[in-house]
Structures are given as C-alpha cells and as structure tokens.
C-alpha cells in the first residue's frame, strides 16, 4: 500500500513550492517570492506523481514575475499566491496511468516545487541513457536550434553573430553554428570575463563587450559583413547588426534582453527597424517561438560525444536558493544555463 492509497498508514508526502508573493517595484528581488509547504493529494485515475530533480531558470521568468516592461507581455504573468512554473525533470514515484511506471525519468512544466503531480498528458518520458545527465534535458538547445537551424538555416561559409552569446540560449546557439560549418562565429557579452569565456571555452572566433561602440566593433570583426544574426538582445545590438549585415542576411530574432531586463516601466519590447537599410539589403527577419523538436537531443548527444560541444551550466543547490539565482541570472552573474537541483528527499 502506498501513501497515496486510501487506508494507507504512511505519512502523506509534503512538498515545498515557490510562489509569486508580490509584484516587483523596480528590479526583481527575493522578497517577491515565498516558499510554502503543501500536502500531496491522492492521485486520481490517469495521473502521475513525480519527485522533481532539476529545473531550469530562464530570463523570461523575471518578466513573468512582473519585472521589466510588463505592459507588453503577450502572456499571463505568474499568478500571485500560486506556485511558479517552468520546465523541470524528475522521477516518477507513483502512477495510475498505464504509460508511466515508477522510476521513469520525465520532463514537464511544473518546476519550482519538490513534487509535481497531475494528468499524465502533462508529462513526457525521457530516455535516461541518451544524454550524460538528467539536467542536460533542460538545456535551451531547442530554442537555439529553432533559431539557428529552422529560422536562419546556418551552414558552411556563414559569418554569424550571436548577441547575448554567453547566456543559456546564446551559449548553445554559437556552438550549433560552429558544428554546422559556419565560417566565422562572433559573440557579444557584458564583461571581459564572458568575452574570454566565449573565445576560450566555446571557441568563438571573436567576441566583444557590448559596453562600447557596438557597430564599430562588429564591423571590425566581420569586415566582409554578417550572413546570420541570432539576436537575443534587440536594441542597439540589433540595429548595429542590421548595418553590418550582408544582402540577404538571415536574422533569427530570439529575444530582447536589452529591454526585457530593465527597471524602466515605460520600456517596450519593440525593435526599431531601419527599414530603408533592411529593404535595400532584403534581409530576412524571422522572430520565432520555440517548438518541441525531436531533432535537438540526437544532435546534442552526438556533438557532446564527439567533443564538439559543451553544455555550459551552473547547478544551484536547493529550491530555497532558486529565487536568488533568478535575480542573479538577470543581473548577468552566470554563464550558460542555470539549473536548480530541487533535492527533495527520496
Ligand atoms: N523565442 C523563444 O521562443 C525564446 C525561448 C527561450 C528564450 N527566449 C529569449 O532568449 C533570450 C535569452 O534567454 P536566456 O534564458 O538564455 O537568457 P540569458 O541570456 O541567460 O539571460 C541573462 C543574460 O542577459 C544578459 N543581459 C542582461 N541585461 C542585458 C542588457 N541590457 N543587454 C544585453 N544583455 C543583457 C546578461 O548577460 P551579459 O552579462 O552578457 O549582459 C545575462 O547574463 C531572452 O530574450 C529570452 O526571453 C526566447
């Protein structure tokens, strides 16, 4: 008899979760979150209970808490008093659905809590052996792939620029371009330490700090012009990339960090397009949204195995440290992905 069944004598499972407590006034702070404990209810038919192991943090979570230019968000904010959500992986500990068994590794969107439960349709089984460790399933690779491959079709001979290159998405986008045969990959980031990281660890051909004359730096690093731009930042970096683009350049428009991560409530997430230049060059501007793809994991596994790619990530220990880690992520303190090990007792 498990603790989830009627008549069980075992203590019910308690699960801790992080909730949105208040909206940020200005920058996001740990005071905007609260950690609460709930009792896991008995499972209904066709449901699963999962002990969460890891969850991913991402820049958009700050916006969903209400930080930044919230009036422009096209999706609902995290509800106050409710647990936050986000992609996570964990192990099934109980299932009333024939498709799942105890011990299965699954991915789902009920992060920010120690245990996740609900209808089986919300969970996807993963093949543990395919990637080196469970947190690898939480990479931002599907987004980087969608932009670099599906939108920009990056390939041999391309001169590529990735803005926000040291972040969760950017750190994989540049490596994908390299693996697909790009001729030259250039990245931007916000500090010399990150610039060194791009060149030394991610093997970018060149990188620069965007605190300075962006267009001049980009032009000096890509005198022949840009064929592909993977833009995480918008603002001045997008505008500079358009000036340095070659005719027909392909732009994968992923994000607008320069106006997402702001305390200015008047900021918006719009791009300013110099339409005459864009028109003369007939550049292709492709904003996109991540879609589930079966292509990423096999390519990731192969490139990791061949030593052609690394998964830069920091593991933050414990649910309680997740809010502070998100604040630090927005403050530019990490390189690569930020993953929280949730650490509920087995
Ligand atoms: N289209 C989609 O479906 C999709 C899916 C996922 C993510 N995204 C977007 O992709 C972008 C990257 O996401 P991520 O989670 O990987 O974030 P991230 O790059 O890890 O975000 C944190 C980084 O943002 C940079 N940053 C902060 N303020 C900045 C500013 N004013 N100008 C330039 N950079 C700034 C900081 O790097 P520095 O130290 O270098 O400044 C910081 O390390 C975001 O815009 C996100 O919303 C889009």
- Using the mean position of ligand 1's atoms as its centre, give its distance from the Cα of residue 92 in Å: 32
User: 87 and 111 in contact (C-beta within 8 Å)?
Assistant: yes
What number does the ligand 1 atom closest to the CA of 166 have? 40
**Mean pLDDT confidence for 15-44:** 96
What does residue 94 show for φ and ψ, rounded to 5 degrees? -155, 145
- Using the mean position of ligand 1's atoms as its centre, give its distance from the Cα of residue 7 in Å: 50
Residue 194 Cβ inside 6 Å of ligand 1? The answer reads yes
**Mean pLDDT confidence for 224-234:** 98
The pLDDT value recorded for residue 154 is: 98
**Mean pLDDT confidence for 26-43:** 96
Residue 139 Cβ inside 6 Å of ligand 1? The answer reads no
Query: Taking 50 as the threshold, does the pLDDT of residue 304 lie above it?
Result: yes
**Minimum CA distance residue for ligand 1 atom 19:** 167
User: Residue 342 to residues 57, 94, 95, 138: CA-CA distances in angstroms?
Assistant: 12, 18, 21, 13
Q: How far apart are CA 55 and CA 104, in angstroms?
A: 17
**Minimum CA distance residue for ligand 1 atom 25:** 332
**Mean pLDDT confidence for 142-170:** 98
**Mean pLDDT confidence for 205-224:** 98
What confidence tier does 3 reach under pLDDT thresholds 50, 70, 90?
very low
- Using the mean position of ligand 1's atoms as its centre, give its distance from the Cα of residue 232 in Å: 6
User: 282 and 89 in contact (C-beta within 8 Å)?
Assistant: no
**Minimum CA distance residue for ligand 1 atom 2:** 289
Q: How far apart are CA 175 and CA 178, in angstroms?
A: 5
Question: Which pTM value belongs to this model?
Answer: 0.95
The pLDDT value recorded for residue 290 is: 95
Residue 289 Cβ inside 6 Å of ligand 1? The answer reads yes
Residue 174 Cβ inside 6 Å of ligand 1? The answer reads no
The pLDDT value recorded for residue 344 is: 55
Q: The tokens of 155 are what?
A: 């390939």
Residue 221 Cβ inside 6 Å of ligand 1? The answer reads no
**Minimum CA distance residue for ligand 1 atom 17:** 59
The pLDDT value recorded for residue 191 is: 98
**Mean pLDDT confidence for 92-100:** 97
Q: How far apart are CA 173 and CA 206, in angstroms?
A: 15
The pLDDT value recorded for residue 74 is: 84
């Amino acid at each position: 008899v498990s603790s989830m069944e009627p008549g069980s004598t075992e203590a019910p499972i308690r699960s801790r979760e992080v909730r949105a407590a208040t909206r940020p006034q200005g920058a996001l702070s740990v005071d905007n979150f609260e950690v609460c404990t709930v009792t896991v209810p008995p499972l209904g038919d066709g449901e699963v209970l999962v002990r969460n192991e890891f969850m991913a943090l991402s820049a958009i979570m700050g916006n969903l808490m209400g930080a930044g230019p919230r009036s422009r968000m096209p999706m609902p904010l995290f509800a106050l008093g409710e647990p936050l959500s986000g992609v996570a992986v964990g192990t099934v500990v109980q299932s009333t659905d024939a498709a799942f068994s105890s011990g299965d590794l699954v991915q789902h969107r009920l992060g920010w809590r120690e245990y996740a439960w609900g209808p089986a349709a919300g969970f996807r089984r993963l093949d543990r052996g395919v990637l080196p460790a469970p947190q690898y399933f939480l990479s931002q690779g599907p987004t980087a792939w969608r932009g670099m491959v599906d939108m920009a079709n990056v390939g041999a001979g391309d001169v590529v620029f990735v803005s926000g290159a040291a972040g969760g998405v950017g750190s994989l986008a540049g490596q994908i371009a390299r693996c697909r045969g790009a001729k030259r990959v250039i990245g931007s980031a916000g500090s010399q330490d990150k610039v060194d990281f791009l060149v030394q660890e991610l093997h970018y051909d060149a990188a620069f700090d965007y605190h300075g004359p962006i267009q001049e730096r980009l032009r000096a690093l890509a005198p022949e012009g840009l064929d592909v731009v993977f833009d995480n930042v918008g603002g001045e970096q997008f505008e500079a990339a358009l000036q340095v683009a070659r005719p027909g350049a392909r732009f994968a428009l992923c994000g607008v960090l320069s106006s997402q991560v702001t305390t200015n409530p008047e900021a918006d997430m719009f791009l300013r397009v110099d339409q005459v230049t864009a028109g003369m060059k007939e550049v292709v501007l492709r904003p996109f949204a991540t879609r589930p793809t079966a292509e990423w994991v096999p390519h990731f596994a192969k490139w990791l195995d061949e030593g052609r790619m690394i998964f830069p990530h920091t593991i933050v220990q414990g649910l309680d440290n997740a809010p502070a880690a998100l604040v630090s992520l927005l403050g530019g303190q990490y390189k690569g992905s930020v993953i929280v090990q949730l650490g509920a007792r087995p």
